[in-house]
Structure formats: C-alpha cells, structure tokens
Amino acid sequence: MDLFQAKPSDSHIWRGIVENAQTIQRGVGVALGDGRSTKFWLHKWATLTTLLDLAKRHVPATEQTRMVHDYWEEGQGWRWNLFEDYLPDEALKTIASFELCQEGIPDQYFWTAFSSGRFTIKSAIALIRQDAPIGDINFWNDVWRIKAPQQVRVFTWLALNEKVMTNLHRFRRSLTNNPFCYICDQAHESVQHVLRDCPEANISWQAILAKGSGQLGASLNFKEWFLKNIRDQGKDGNWPTKFLITMWYIWKWRNGVCFNAIEQIPQDKVAFLLCKFDEVVEALRHEAKGQPRRREHITGLVS
C-alpha cells in the first residue's frame, strides 16, 4: 500500500502515476489478521479514512509508522493508553469492535470498489473518474463497519461472495457429487439455503426474530435480505451485530452435524444465542470505554 511515493525530483510522468495511485488506494480495504502488516495510523483498516486523518492532535512521527499489532497485547486486548488521547470517541468505539487473530494469520487486503473484493481495471478507472459503483462501495463499507469479532466479519465477507464451502460450492468444484443440503436434503446447499432457507436455520431465525428486530424476508435474495437487516435496525441498535453472530453460529452448527461434532451444538439454541448477544455487546461496550476486556466472552464467541 506504500508502493507509490512522490519525491520533489520525480518526473511529471511518475507524478501522474503517483497521483492516480493515491486515488486508487482509496479503494483498498484491510481485513485484519495478526495486524503485523497493517499500519495503525496510515492504513484504512478500522474507518473509512486513516486514523491519522481523524486524530484530534498531532501524532508523533515515531508513532505513525507503528503496526496495528504494536497497539495490541495478547491476552489483554488494545493498549488504549497508547492512542486513546489522540482519537475521537467514535473512532475508539470502532476500534473496540476489532480483535486480532493469533500470530501467523496474515492481514488480508481487498478491493472495496468491486463486490467480489478483487481488483479490476474497470473499477479502478471508475474510482479515478469518481463514478465508481457507489452502491457496491457503500455496501462493503456497511459490512465492515458492523461491530463484531473479526472472524465473524471475515466469515460474513466470504458468505456474501459465495466463498463458503457449502455442498453446492464443493459440487461446482468437483469435490463432491452431491450438491444437496446435508441437513434437510431438500434443496441445493447454497449459502442462502444453509444460512436462511434450510428448515433448521429457519427455526433459529423465527425464534430470534420473535424476540426483537430483524426481517426474515424469505422473498428477498440473500444480499437484499442481508442489507435489509443491517440497515433497518428498528429499535435495536445492536441488531447488525446479533444478525452476524446468528449467521456465524448457524454455519458452525451445520458443520457440527456434517463432521459428527454434535456435542458442540447447544440443546437450546435460542437461549445460547441470546446469551452470546449479551456477552459480545457487553465486551464491545467495555472496550469502547477503555475498560479491561473480558476476553472469555470473545473467545467463547469465536471458539
């Protein structure tokens, strides 16, 4: 992301390249892994702009080149004392929704100006011309703004891009000769089916939705249904977080059935989810206030 740097002695041609390159970099997003290759202040990993742009006062040059990992303490969480005085409350709340993965899981870069997350010349030119597909950009920005454990957010990104290894996906890649749902055997196991339309998943959604916000939206396609739920929050401002958590566990429970790990599936799924909702929302609220992170909550959520 720091490939293009302008110097006073550069030629006009190189300056033109750098100018466009800096524009193109606006379309680059980061999905954090261990945070060792992403710069905390200079890369756009938490907010739509760099954190340096949001700083309330000057950030020392020695701090500006630090990596995200430098502000994280394994087993404790964010080292709030190193940066909280520089940033506004909204930025701190956003940072609180992130947690780093274990060492060895690299950060991943994706292209926000195209729905697949992959770079294309056409979308880059559109971004330079300032006529990029705003719907797609806004859509992915909405996804990455949702407060949830990073593993859950990355899973959501994979699901929205049809990259989750459902039976239908495996069938298309010649990894199985059966594209049908492993649980109900009533339809091809697409992402939409396994996360929403499968009767087993539908039971969980009906029970959760009966207790709060959200839309079942069976007549909508998967992306439309997803958007409706993360944008139409109703009275529950935490619904997008709860929505993602529910999808995550429906997928984990499906895998528990597929891989004979049914002991991982709770007897009362609704009670389990309601408990997890409270735990993760409380953990995020504590982090936003700079209080010690209750790590057992987050670990329990993503384990």
Give dist(CA 153, CA 108) in Å, integer.
Answer: 13
Give dist(CA 200, CA 197) in Å, integer.
Answer: 8
- pTM as predicted: 0.55
Q: Which of 145-154, 160-169, 265-274 has the highest mean pLDDT?
A: 265-274
pLDDT of residue 291: 54
Helix (H) or strand (E) holding 251: helix 239-258
pLDDT tens digits, 46-73: 877 789 988 988 999 999 999 999 999 9
The C-alpha torsion from 255 through 190 and 208 to 32, rounded to 10°, is 70
Question: Residue 230 corresponds to which tokens in the numbers above?
Answer: 């993360």
Give dist(CA 28, CA 51) in Å, integer.
Answer: 15
32 pLDDT above the threshold of 60: yes
The number of CA neighbours under 13 Å toward the Cβ of 281 is: 16
The arithmetic mean of pLDDT across residues 289-295, rounded, is 51
Selection from 112, 105, 86, 195 nearest residue 150 by Cα? 105
Helix (H) or strand (E) holding 145: helix 134-145
pLDDT tens digits, 163-183: 889 999 888 888 889 999 989
